[in-house]
Amino acid sequence: MEKTLKQYQAIIFDLDGTLADSFHFFLSVLNQLSAKYKFKSVSLHEVEYYKQLTPREIMKEMNVSRWKLPWIAKDFIRLMKERDEEIHLFEGMRDHLIELHKQGYTLAIITSNSKENCQNVLGEELCELFSHIDGGSSIFGKAKRIKRVLNILDVSKNHAIYVGDQTTDGEATHKAGIDFAAVGWGYTSAEKLKTIQPKVVLNDLATMKEFF
């Protein structure tokens, strides 16, 4: 793959499904919360089907009311804090983040998870690589967060890219006016992510290393 013609100054990452391998934890918690909040649980054989859907489509399929989302997210964040030893970065991600920092990129995170959970997953050493960690974003509200973080970083939108694994990440970047790099190893299939026209689809860590 050719490197992008545009020289990025800042790379903004999502956490869950992008840096952190939390999908199986998410699935177990989701089924735990489905009884509490009265929505449909997900069986293992249904996982690939759900990876072909957008978050809005998933909510409709599972009968999740939008007003319940903040409460579900709050419980998810609490349970992850209690079981954070189960969550790890994807293999090779730690070394690549260190390398990106050495190359001079400004690194940041915007996540719907909490800042505290993010810091716990990264560990103290890796946290120091990031100029800003923004937690607690709604999955439908990242565009405003992106604009705010660009102001904090003092980076123009033409020199920033967001790396994420959901269609809502791509929608937010388009709205905020920055490029989107879609990762194919997270909560959404690479095929589905192609439909929102990312700058690039990163199918694996090797592809990411070629691009950045």
CA distance 183 to 15: 12
Residue 163 contacts by C-beta under 8 Å, 6 or more apart in sequence? 11, 12, 13, 14, 18, 180, 181, 183, 202, 208
Residue 175 pLDDT: 96
pLDDT in tens, the chain (212 residues): 444 545 899 999 999 999 999 988 888 888 889 889 988 888 888 888 888 888 888 888 888 888 888 898 889 899 999 998 889 999 999 999 999 999 999 999 999 999 999 999 999 999 999 999 999 887 778 999 999 999 999 999 999 999 999 999 999 999 999 999 999 999 999 999 999 999 999 999 999 999 99
CA distance 192 to 206: 21
Residue 55 pLDDT: 82
Q: Which residues of 12-28 are buried (b: 16+ CB within 10 A; e: fewer)?
A: bbbbbbbbbbbbebbbe
Residue 22: φ, ψ to 5° = -115, 10
Residue 2 pLDDT: 46
Residue 19: φ, ψ to 5° = -95, -40
